[in-house]
Structure 1
């Protein structure tokens, strides 16, 4: 669960050369390093997160209609609360089927066994598996296409890399560690009271947390100019958000630490991680990690559960979209 800061050659730094004419000859002036923009990335991030959440909520409403056999064009007499209650019941049934499934890795010796194992997973776990596959494919593709750049470099002033940076990794260990943690926490976080088995909600939360974590790294460069020239790469900010949500949802659950034979209560682990990342952000540990991204992700996850984002953000957004669409259908029928 590490977001790496990667040192690259100076070819990463865009410069604008100034040509000057002087007494009949020309010379190339020193390159002018562009200023890092901060307002635009904030606006872009807010717009991207809003779009992600809106599209995810719209997708889930469409799936709710499909599961209930409702024609989205004609509408239904069911209220939003009734449709939402039915979705939650379906998610709980899926969780029960998952708990009863007993698939051993030693049985995965054929395509049929793999398909059976995949289908036995919850939709949240399948989403985490899909993210893992996308990250793995991108990592392998960089072997054949090394010029693919998804990392975020503040001095480049490229907004879209605030999102793409979370799909790249600095090495195989970095990728494996992050994806292991993601798949470990996907099921309990998805089943928590905040997310209630909603895959669309989990995906929107994951992507938005990644954007906010990378944005924090970008903004840090205003205080620590050296970070303007150091790319940020990795999904750890989003994964720290998952850990934060897990710790707030299951404070007494144990979190195992790799290579150590014991676990730590989730809430105590949150305190330890926060202290470690805060010290690293202010003073640095010399580990080459984007501590500010980790700390931001952790804060996002903790705050989202503490302030009940499942109700105040997700449910209210879904209800708003449902009521707008229902109102439009009533106007059409008139």
Structure 2
């Protein structure tokens, strides 16, 4: 991989500083994590800042390792400006798909309550206050109520969406490179390794498995990364355009 490239180095430093600061000042999670757009805690800048927030040591450690391992060769190939554009675009793509899926899940459950005669404004007022009515469980089922509350109240944090975009770009650029999963220590070529990871997120995302991971944010970052790589390849984009 050679030396640590400038953009990757600065992203690593900023992420570590923000992580340490957030452990000292937990209120940062409310300010900078990505909340559901109708949640009172939502702010427009969270679309960017959530990429620098992490939920724990292993969360940031895995993300920063991936940023170093897969981002370094891409920045060496592209240069700083193109790499940063790609990184943040993938992260924004992750935020948009994650928020879009949450919007669908939230309003699907909300309309189910409205269909049972519950006033929509009353529901919004109750959940905006951090509460819910146990009677909702009897009306639409506990699973739908949990989906409603989770979509509204649970913020997204982490660079994972941007990292998934980086992984897709790596698989495009270095398709024959052999990688290994921690739980499956067998060399797998990047062109198979990355789709395998994404397939796992698709399965967990569509089955609604409670993993504590924003699977659709991963998928959103991967889709954004794929679109950019496909477009750049089709139009023969080169590094001179980013100098």
TM-score (norm 2): 0.73
User: What residue in structure 1 maps to residue 25 of structure 2?
Assistant: 145
**Map of 1:205 onto structure 2:** 86
Kindly indicate whether residue 47 of structure 2 is the aligned counterpart of residue 162 of structure 1: yes
* Whole-Å separation in 1 of the counterparts to 2:27 and 2:88: 24
The 2-side partners of 1:129 and 1:315 are apart by 20
Structure holding more helix per residue: 2
Q: Distance in 2 between matches of 1:284 and 1:317?
A: 42
Contact 1:212 1:297 survives alignment (8 Å):
yes
Shift of 1:306: 2.1
C-alpha displacement of 1:304:
1.6
Indicate how the Cα distance of structure 1 residues 309 and 141 shifts in structure 2: closer, same or farther if over 3 A, else same. Answer: farther
Q: For 1:255, which of 162, 179, 184 is the aligned residue? A: 179
Using the alignment, how far apart are the partners of 1:126 and 1:307 within structure 2?
25
CA contact (8 A) 2:161 2:218 kept: yes
> Tell me, which stretches of 5 or more residues in structure 2 are unaligned?
107-147
Please report how far the alpha carbon of residue 278 of structure 1 lies from its aligned counterpart in structure 2 after TM superposition.
1.3
Structure 1 residue 224 and structure 2 residue 105: aligned?
yes
Q: Does 1:214 align with 2:95?
A: yes
| Structure 2 equivalent of residue 102 of structure 1 | none
Q: Where do 1:1-334 residues align within 5 Å?
A: 98=2, 121=3, 125-149=5-29, 150-154=32-36, 155-156=39-40, 157-192=42-77, 195=78, 198-225=79-106, 226=148, 227-308=151-232
Q: Distance in 2 between matches of 1:294 and 1:127?
A: 21
Residue 264 of structure 1: SS of its match in structure 2? strand
Q: Would the aligned equivalents of 1:244 and 1:300 in 2 still touch at CA under 8 Å?
A: no
Paired residue total: 195
Q: Any gaps of 5 or more consecutive residues in structure 1?
A: 1-94, 99-120, 320-334
* Cα separation, 2, equivalents of 1:219 and 1:316: 35
Decide which structure has the larger Cα Rg and report it: 1
User: Per-residue deviation at 1:260?
Assistant: 3.8
